[in-house]
Structure 1
Amino acid sequence: MGTDPNNAPSSWCAFRELDRGVVERLARLVVSSLVLLSRLAAAQDCVDWDAAPMPEPHYIPIQDGTVYDHSTGLMWKQCPEGSGGVGCAMGEPQTFRLEEARWRARDSRFAGYADWRLPTQDELRSLLRRRCHGLGIDSVTFPRTPAGYFWTSDPATYYPDSAWTLDFRRGHLGYGTSRDAFYVRLVRDAGSCSPARPATCLPHAERTLEPHDGREPGMEEESDQLNP
């Protein structure tokens, strides 16, 4: 004969409550363990702010003041615009309005290349490295990078004469108009300068060794010129 649950003894009800409590505690324990494991996994993939800075292996610094990114095939100007020299110690990173930034990229002849440009959102985002307590950039390869907004070449669709920006402090995308001024880092397609596309390179006689002294193009001395 079955037992009516409504007439079950109090010990049976107490057992049911105990069983439910055990299950709930086990569930909380499992969730806590999963959260801890995910945090530990994340900690293995990021670099703490207090850790000694280490250069990313896919970056190849070149002595002419450029950096080749083996993973993307891009060549970056090592210093943000306004600074230069060894360790970008000459000058100060400057902010530019949008048209000024475009003009600076278009007219740059840095390191003997004539095809410098503003990076796209994705290209600029590729420089970000995740840390345990935020975002940043490889400060060994790209020294003196301001923790602020940098221009991209991508227009902000709904705003006339504007472009998207990327914040190197938090990794946030924003946008700027022609009245705003932000930092600039130039990039080029490393493989584009070739005999097949000679217009992307300066003529050999016009190329100069990058003296790393912060001088503007056209201010080089005759001794800096490469021999033909």
Structure 2
Amino acid sequence: MIPKSMIRLFRLLTQPLQLVFLMLAVCVASEVQADSGSGSTDEIFGGQILSLTEEKPPLKPSNDPRFQDNKDGTVTDLKEKLMWKQIDIYQEKKIWINWNDAQTYLEKFNKEAFVGYSDWRLPTRKELESLYEEGKDVPWKYYWTENVIHIDPIFGYSSCCFWSSEVYKDEYAWGFNYIRGRTYPSARGGPGLSLSTIRPVRTILGIDSGNAAP
């Protein structure tokens, strides 16, 4: 057991060091505040924030006749006879979503009858994969991560990873990664940190004889 007199002596000897560290911290904080006032920023942190907030240049359209921009926030895939929401949920709300919360979102989405339809759903793995095109590149930047999404630019600066409607075992569901072009299982109720989002889809027949909301 260490004698109390030794403990008091240790505290007395270390007090000057604590004061020095405190003064250094104040000086650093002052420099940061001064830099902020003069327009300087932390380059690494600033770069991370800019990756999320900076205005992105318009993407060059592919002019692929397969896709039709309906000018109402949806895109029709004439080949697969599917109507997709043009921008995904992360593009719209800047939040990731797990599979369980996606069900709640879709229920509300259909109650609101987006563009007049109430039969929106999560796509199957096959439907998600049908949008993957290795010859098409859309830049994807998230904080310090830079990559390329292989999807038609008609969908804008798309996210990388999407939930499908298909479950896997008891607590998992299948997703699709547009960087790698592969499916993957992920926890359905996991935290919203998996970089996963959803792009609602609906099946169309002919030009469109789907389930239009009244």
TM-score interval w.r.t. the shorter chain? 0.5 to 0.7
Alpha-carbon RMSD: 2.5
| Corresponding pairs, count | 138
Aligned to 1:167: 177
One-letter amino acid of the structure 2 residue matched with residue 152 of structure 1: S
1:155-194 correspondence to structure 2 within 5 Å: 155-156=167-168, 159-177=169-187, 178-181=189-192, 182-191=196-205, 194=209
1:150 aligned onto 2:169: no
Unpaired stretches in structure 1, ≥5 consecutive residues: 1-50, 85-90, 204-228
| Cα offset, 1:64, TM superposition | 1.2
Q: Which amino acid aligns with 2:121?
A: R
Counterpart Cα distance in 2 of 1:185 and 1:137: 13
- Cα distance change on mapping 1:180 and 1:160 into 2, 3 Å: farther
Match of 2:43 in 1: none
- Cα pair 2:75 2:84 within 8 Å, conserved: yes
* Equivalent residue letter for 2:120: W
Q: Output the CA distance in 1 between the equivalents of 2:75 and 2:62.
A: 15
The 8 Å contact of residues 136 and 150 in structure 2, kept in 1 or not, is answered as no
1:52 deviation in Å? 5.4
Indicate whether 1:202 and 2:210 are aligned: no
Structure 2 residue runs of 5 or longer lacking an equivalent are 1-58, 138-147
Find 1:138's aligned residue among 131, 135, 152: 152
1: distance between equivalents of 2:87 and 2:151?
Answer: 12
Residue 77 (1) aligns with residue 85 (2) = yes
Q: Over alpha carbons, which structure has the higher Rg? A: 1
Amino acid at match of 1:71: K
Return the offset for 1:55. Answer: 3.2
Distance 2:190 2:97 in 1: 10
Q: Do the aligned residues in 2 keep the contact of 1:107 with 1:114 (CA within 8 Å)?
A: no
Q: 1: distance between equivalents of 2:118 and 2:158?
A: 23
Residue 141 of structure 2: aligned partner: none
Runs of 4+ in structure 1 deviating by more than 3 angstroms, as ranges, are: 132-135
The CA distance in 2 between the partners of 1:63 and 1:119, in whole Å, is 21
1:103 maps to what in 2? 104
Secondary structure (helix, strand or coil) at the match of 1:68 reads strand
Residues 165 and 63 of structure 1, relative CA distance in 2, 3 Å threshold? same
- Specify the code of the residue in structure 2 equivalent to 1:185: R
Give TM-score, length-normalised by structure 1. 0.54
2-structure distance, mates of 1:132, 1:122: 18
Q: Deviations over 1:151-176 (max 9, x none)?
A: 000111xx313210001111121111
